[in-house]
Each structure stands twice: as C-alpha cells, then as structure tokens.
Amino acid sequence: CDAFSKGYSMTALQLEMQGSGAPGGRQLQTDEVELRSVLITLVYKALQVLNVEQEKDAPKIEFTPGPFDDFVRQIVAAQQRGYDLNMIQQEFNLANSSSAETRSPLESAILRQGTRVVFETVLQVSGDKP
C-alpha cells in the first residue's frame, strides 16, 4: 500500500523486481517475473477498486482497463459480502472447472496466488488483519 500511496508506478516496481533477482542472487525465471508482475498489478487494481487514496504530492497512477479488472472486482465484492478466502477459491474453482485441464502451471499459480493476494489486500485496507 505504501508504494501505491506514494505514487510508484507498476512499471517502476516491476523493473525494480526484475533487477533485484531471487533470493540467493539467482536471476528470476521468466515465469517468476511474469507471476510477480501480475501480482503487483492485482494489488494495485484492488487498491483502485477500494478507492485507496494516494498522498497529495504523489504522482497520480494512471489505470487502464485490463484483463484482471473483473477478477479483482469479484474478489473484493465477495470479501465484502462476508466470504472467506476458502469460499472464494472454491467458487472460482467451480466456475472454471472446465478450463482447469487446459490451464498452464503459470495460469493456475496466478489464479490461486492472485486470489489470495487480492483477498489479503482487502483485509489490510479494511483493517481486518488476521
């Protein structure tokens, strides 16, 4: 939330992440970079949906519609209706069961981890920290 409120762009965070590498000094694999980039995007989209404000003197972050907008809105709405993380994940699994067989490992990781990241972001913003 701090990077968002201070106006750090998603691009700047992604470049920082790519340059920092993985623990142990190894370079991140392409899938790792992509997954982390998607997770950063999901957090920022969730903060936008939740109307988290940026600091007055921070550069304004511009948002463009993207493929994750509905995904984020659904998770935020479900959490606000009282669903817990397990219930949300089960709903997504049922809704996407026909496409589960054709999902790549990266897509599965995005769905699983992305759901958790958006859910935890909502909890942090709302003050309902576990």
Domain range enclosing 19: 2-126
Which residue do the tokens 């989209």 mark? 45
pLDDT score at 83: 94
The answer to whether residue 116 scores a pLDDT higher than 90 is yes
Q: Is the pLDDT of residue 130 over 60?
A: no
The model's pLDDT over 37-87, given as tens digits with 9 standing for 90+, comes to 899 999 999 999 999 988 888 888 888 899 899 999 999 999 999 999 999
Angle between helices 30-49 and 10-20 in degrees, nearest 10: 150
What is the per-residue burial (b if ≥16 Cβ within 10 Å, else e) of 75-96?
A: bbebbeeebebeebbeebeeee
Structural domains in the chain (count): 1
